[in-house]
A = this chain, B = another copy of it.
Amino acid sequence: MTASPALKATVSTPSDREIRMERVFNAPRERVWKAITTPDLVTQWWGRGNKLVIEKMDVQRGGHWRFVEHSPQGVHGFEGRYREVTPPERIVQTFEWDGMPGHVIIETMTLEDLGDGRTRLVTLSLFHTTEERDGMLHSGMEGGAQESYAALDRVLADLAKR
């Protein structure tokens, strides 16, 4: 299947401390949920082709996660904690990058069943300050997310074949 314009993520800023990303996937909600909550699957898409080491991924309220991405530009750690895990609909988690320790983003991921075998993933990121939000917007996050989502498309297509 060729990627259609509908499969491009849409980025917006609903308030001065938020970023909203929306992306439709050609897969039912349970499959998308599996791909974003199963460590062996996350390693296949989250790092956009880079090696990803999952040091912790305890997907439950209060559990911690920590991913280390090994890219040609260096090693980058990311970590956070799950605030809410409601399969297959919603995950609320904190997110921080080792390069800016203690700058914490609240990510709310909502999986919407579109009723036609597709799923809309909406990620709302809330920052403590507008400066932190703007820093993320200018970090190349949109391009990185598009690459991750394209890799997630491939994981979802593989899962469909099993």
**Interface, chain A (partner B; CB < 8 A):** 61-62, 80-84, 92-94, 96, 98, 101-104, 106, 126, 128
Inter-subunit contact A81/B94 (CB<8 Å): no
User: Roughly how many angstroms separate A106 CA and B82 CA in the complex, as a whole number?
Assistant: 18
8 Å CB contact of A81 from B92, B93, B102, B126: B102
CA distance in complex: A81, B103 (Å) = 9
List 18 interface pairs A-B (beta carbons < 8 Å), by A numbering. A61-B101, A62-B98, A62-B101, A80-B102, A81-B102, A82-B101, A82-B102, A83-B102, A83-B103, A84-B102, A93-B102, A94-B102, A94-B104, A102-B106, A104-B104, A104-B106, A106-B128, A128-B128
Q: Is the CB of B83 within 8 A of A92?
A: no
In the complex, A84→B128 CA distance in Å?
A: 16
| CB of A74, distance to nearest CB on chain B (Å) | 15
Give A107's nearest chain B residue, CB to CB: B102
6 closest Cβ contacts across the A-B interface?
Answer: A83-B102, A62-B101, A104-B104, A94-B102, A81-B102, A81-B101
Bound CA span A103–B61, Å: 12
Residues of B within 8 A of A104 (CB): 94, 104, 106
Task: Report the nearest B residue to A127, measured CB to CB.
Answer: B128
**Closest-CB distance, A54 to chain B (whole angstroms):** 18
* Inter-chain contact A101/B128, CB cutoff 8 Å: no
Please give, as numbers and ranges, the residues of chain B lying within 8 Å of A81 by CB-CB distance.
Answer: 96, 101-102
